[in-house]
Amino acid sequence: MLSVYFISTIFTTVGFGDVAAMNEAEQIFCIAIMYTGTFIFGTLLSEVESVVEAARFYIRAKSRVKQQVQEYLQSKNVHRQLCDKILTWIDFNFEAQQDLVSYTECATQIPKTHRLELLARVHSGRLLGHPVLGGIVGPKASVFLDELWGCFKVLNSKNH
């Protein structure tokens, strides 16, 4: 038992501190805790890696689309200001498409009566960032844009 405890202490990198198990029952308890901690740490590390990889995939996909559009525009000698406007649109459109996928998956579970309210809460003023619609002002501008966003979603989700 002492050798298993010794190897477990090394394997789990707990080390040899001032506090150590003194009898066989304590050693068994410590071994169980060490391996449980190692398993939990490994699982958490795996989850973090999955989230980071998903973020990297999203960034690479967006960059690839922007790079293709930028190369095309440069090959056609499109002036810089128009390129910037188009690339801004590409950013907006890519994020909107990703949001549409997420929303569509979620909306199938939500009653139609609550979808507009959901859109008002989750789109976070996305249309205000649009180059054309961002200039809309007024006391009910956000309500109008929420309803407009809801119409876009309904039209897009029917096409998919």
Cα within 13 Å of Cα(79), Cβ side: 2
pLDDT of residue 10: 75
pLDDT (0 to 100) of residue 19 = 63
Count CB-CB contacts under 10 A for residue 9.
19
pLDDT tens-digit map of 140-159: 777 777 777 666 644 444 44
Tens-digit pLDDT profile for residues 61-104:
999 999 999 999 999 999 999 999 999 999 988 988 887 788 77
Q: Which amino acid is at 71?
A: E
> 51 or 146: whose pLDDT is higher?
51
Summarize pLDDT for 121-144 with one digit per residue, the tens.
Answer: 766 566 666 767 777 777 777 777
CA 110 to chain CA centroid, nearest Å: 21
